[in-house]
Chains A and B, each alone.
Chain A
């Protein structure tokens, strides 16, 4: 018997001995993780049995897994027994009473982004009145979706109301045992979004988690599942340009996308979690597994991400190109400033015939930031006529930061066409001077040059999001030169 199994046996034994004593009425669990915690989580949400079984299986697998060490990031070991895996949403008494009680720096950033006061309150976690502008927005929004037959709800709600869909698709793209953090998420995920777009329906609006900030406390182990049935289309926006407060240091989300025949999913992210102070203290660790499957012919999945926050980002939105003629795209801007570290990229797995993928990655490093692109293009034996185009550009500001590119290519079919281009450039003194000679301040010049560098990615974002992302980039780079 190997040690892992033995430990598992001991663990199970211990749990049995202690019994499931946790009080189900508790508002917060003490730190620590064992099977009883998972049973508690599941019971709290009145989940169907099959979900509980699935969670427990994930937990058993997770215990046997090693933490990934290959990413180009460095941090102190995480003590998973020191984390509390459940806390109820904060009660109003515990929240800031007004924006005056919130970190002025945060408010400053909100103002720069032009965020209305009411939304600032919601973002900063201020206790707000029951009558809140976005409530009515949310209602009209829900009516419109219902009319089109689109399901957009918290994952827990979907488990209760559409268990058949959840059973069919949950974990079908990212299996519970996929990787260390995905397994952890599968065991302990608390909330997330669920989207189902029926056959032939074009979702009448961009779906945004931003609409739900007030309604949902997604917590640190978020889980999202989006299904676009045959011939449907949906555009989903995750995150928000405004920096969100969060006391949880570790975030390990999972996002699964399923696109059936002729369906298209466009998934856009702007990630701006707290990056920590200038020395990186207190920043969020963002270890995310995002993957989409093009299940049918002519399906298309497109990931667009703008990553400016977190102390450490570890994330590879990927596409499994199963259907013939299916298309996968990955457009990414990752910015690291001060002590931030990012290891991000994508995996494009060509399985069907004549599948194609495009990868455009823009890494920007400033301060002591470390930015790594890690991408895999894999062409399986049957993937006749597969095509990939990859372009990875790095922009360095100053000489204490780093950019690293790790492209991996595995081709099993000789008819594949793979193109890879990579550039690394320093933000040019001559470019800055040129802009300043034309009248731009140094900061505006930096912002303009960097936004130009990212243009191919920004134009993939929905219009409003793109404008915000541009502003955000400027703000994130303040003080990066001079």
Chain B
């Protein structure tokens, strides 16, 4: 008996580790001294799609940005493990090279920099990091054309300045296009659905679905259930008060849609 139970943690540890692409433990984050995340736990296994829902201002983007390594967020406690890496110790570009991708809630405009130039630099930097050869112009263009189809974007978008003068929907599609090019291991999509009409939503969802695979995980941050009709998640989590207060399957999203967030937040404080 004693031998078995004492052996258990050692036995479990490596398996547990392998099963997780991302493990966030007791994460506490403040912005300008204000506590936003208050002990958040989340585990994402390879190939899984997790939806994170929650009211405005609950900290969804904060979570996404902390995973990607944006400045201005102070992690006061907790850890974020990504594969074998301590993510919080890494520069944003190192995280990107290791396969972390963030589709921005508000994609940034960079005047004068062609979309294709940014992508080529980014892709080749990651390839160098992995010890692979940089793609030559021809192979790169071949790849680009294939991925453009995925999100039904015209080739002219490649030569326009990054996100400059793009419509809201075009910006979001461009994010998914970049994701397709960079082939991340973990993609965090921050409200990629917001501001999309139904046709654009279908295109974006189609793009994401085409990229689903056994070794690629997705965190879908969204405000609306609607997206989940098209990208069906394995898990749904509700973020409120800086913590995941409820987790479930797709059914949870439908409940939320029917009843709003109030019942969860109320329930949460009642049980706390």
Binding site for B on A (CB under 8 A): 428-431, 433-442, 444, 448-449, 451-456
Contact = CB atoms under 8 A, between A and B. Distances in A.
Given A433-B92, A442-B93, A455 B112 contact: yes
Contacts of B95: 437
A232 to B, nearest CB: 33
A439 B161 contact: no
Interface in B155-185: 161-162, 178, 182
B119 A433 contact: no
A438 B93 CA distance: 7
Contacts, number: 84
Contacts of B119: 438
A453 B112 contact: yes
Nearest to B113: A452
A455 B69 CA distance: 29
Interface string B101-133: 110100111111100011101110110010000
B93 A448 contact: no
Contacts of A433: 68, 70-71, 92, 108
Contacts of A453: 111-112
B125 A439 contact: yes
Nearest to A429: B71
A436 B68 CA distance: 10
B112 A454 contact: yes
B82 to A, nearest CB: 14
B71 A435 contact: no
Top 8 A-B residue pairs of the complex, sorted by shortest distance between their CB atoms: A452-B112, A452-B113, A438-B122, A439-B122, A455-B112, A436-B92, A434-B108, A439-B125
B108 A430 contact: yes
Nearest to B92: A436
Interface string B30-74: 000000000000000000000000000000000000001111100
Given A430-B108, A436-B93, A456-B112, A444 B125 contact: yes
Interface residues of B, number: 34
B91 interface: yes
Nearest to A447: B121
A429 B72 CA distance: 10
A471 B93 CA distance: 21
A452 B112 CA distance: 4
B118 A435 contact: yes
Contacts of B68: 433, 437
A455 B108 CA distance: 18
B29 interface: no
Interface string B124-155: 01100100000000000000000000000000
Given A429-B72, A441-B93, A454-B112, 4 more contacts: A435-B110, A436-B92, A451-B112, A455-B111
Contacts of A428: 108
B97 interface: yes
A439 B182 contact: yes
Nearest to A441: B93
B96 interface: yes
Contacts of B117: 448
Contacts of A437: 68-69, 92-93, 95-96, 101-102, 104
A449 B92 contact: no
A interface, by DSSP: helix, strand, loop or mixed? helix
A434 B105 CA distance: 11
B112 A439 contact: no
A443 B92 CA distance: 13
Nearest to A452: B112
Nearest to A423: B111
A438 B104 contact: no
Given A439-B96, A439-B121, A441-B125, A451 B182 contact: no
Contacts of B121: 435, 438-440, 444, 448
Contact of B126 (A435, A439, A449, A454): A439
B163 to A, nearest CB: 9
Contacts of B123: 439
B113 A438 contact: no
B170 to A, nearest CB: 16
12 contacts: A429-B72, A430-B108, A433-B70, A433-B108, A435-B122, A436-B93, A437-B68, A438-B118, A439-B122, A439-B123, A439-B125, A448-B118
A438 B110 contact: no
Nearest to A450: B112
A299 to B, nearest CB: 30
A328 to B, nearest CB: 24
B143 to A, nearest CB: 15
Given A448-B113, A451-B112, A452-B112, A440 B122 contact: yes
Contacts of B102: 437
B93 A440 contact: yes
A466 to B, nearest CB: 13
Contacts of B72: 429
Contacts of A454: 112
A436 B101 CA distance: 11
Contacts of B113: 448-449, 451-452, 455
Given A434-B108, A436-B92, A440-B93, A452 B122 contact: no
Nearest to A456: B112
Contacts of A435: 110, 118, 121-122
A453 B118 CA distance: 14
Nearest to B100: A437
Nearest to A440: B121
A438 B111 contact: no
B110 A452 contact: yes
A331 B102 CA distance: 37
B110 A431 contact: yes
Contacts of A456: 112
Contacts of A430: 108
Contacts of A455: 111-113
Interface in B187-210: none
A438 B96 contact: yes
Nearest to B181: A438
B93 A439 contact: yes
A436 B69 CA distance: 10
Contacts of A452: 110-113, 161
B156 to A, nearest CB: 17
B18 to A, nearest CB: 26
A339 B141 CA distance: 43
B182 A438 contact: yes
